[in-house]
Structure 1
């Protein structure tokens, strides 16, 4: 049911529990252009499959990407390639041989 927003920071286990029970309908990610090492995975190996749809994104002047996703229905598989390759891609393929 509707209720107040819940902010989760740094708890991959809690996120997975909420996702598995259908209790997350929006995810807001902030991606910082910084590498500090291996780090902690947000979605672990046992993550429940889920599809999300990007509904809003913004990039700050310092390169931080803020993206908002909402549930996107069932998981669909396929290719990210365009149906018709661009002229540049056709030229790249020709030169690759």
Structure 2
């Protein structure tokens, strides 16, 4: 059975997107950027599929991941990619499938058919839906040492509490922290 893994890079104040986040993230360099890339590459190697929202899929395509060279790009190209979108028809990135209707049930079935990690990058709206329907098995946060103040937040309103258990923590590079949490489900 598959496991839905949310993998996000976030600011100290919990932002995952927006222009101010992008400005800071693009300036991250040196040891932190290299270490971050190493962790992300290993995660891709350990994954069985990607699950993306439309905007994140389009972000990857716009930045050339469909034709980049290198092991990381090769690995992402080889993975099955499932894209949640009501508007996309033809996908440019090979091994991509559009999920259009009844997303919650479709993703529940996807978890039954994939053995291993189904990683979600970015995809804030999708993450909110997955969280609301208790479809998240693990949350991996790469925390960047900056407060941005304005942008897209990882967590929105939920109908009930979502207990999580810390399963790993480590320093990455000079200033990043990687936290991993697993969902705690009722016994």
Q: Distance in 1 between matches of 2:162 and 2:151?
A: 23
TM-score by length of 1: 0.62
Structure 1 gap ranges (5+): 75-97
Whether the 8 Å contact between 2:132 and 2:158 is mirrored in structure 1 is: no
CA deviations on 1:31-64 (whole Å, 9 max, x unpaired) are 0113344121001134652000101000124110
> Which of the two has greater strand per residue?
2
Query: Which structure exhibits the higher relative contact order, with contacts defined as CA atoms closer than 8 Å and separated by 6 or more residues?
Result: 2
Q: 1:56 to 1:6 in 2, by over 3 A?
A: same
Q: Distance in 2 between matches of 1:68 and 1:46?
A: 20
* Corresponding residue number in structure 2 for 1:9: 121
- Is 1:45 matched up with 2:157? yes
1:48-63 residue pairs with structure 2 within 5 A? Answer: 48-63=160-175
Q: 1:69 to 1:51 in 2, by over 3 A?
A: same
TM-score by length of 2: 0.35
1:20-39 residue pairs with structure 2 within 5 A? Answer: 20-39=132-151
Q: Distance in 2 between matches of 1:20 and 1:36?
A: 25
* Corresponding residue number in structure 2 for 1:81: none
Structure possessing the higher radius of gyration over alpha carbons: 1
Whether the 8 Å contact between 1:19 and 1:48 is mirrored in structure 2 is: no
Secondary structure, counterpart of 2:125 in structure 1: helix
Structure 2 gap ranges (5+): 3-113
> Which of the two has greater helix per residue?
2
- Number of matched pairs: 74
Secondary structure, counterpart of 1:6 in structure 2: strand
Q: State the superposition RMSD in angstroms.
A: 2.1
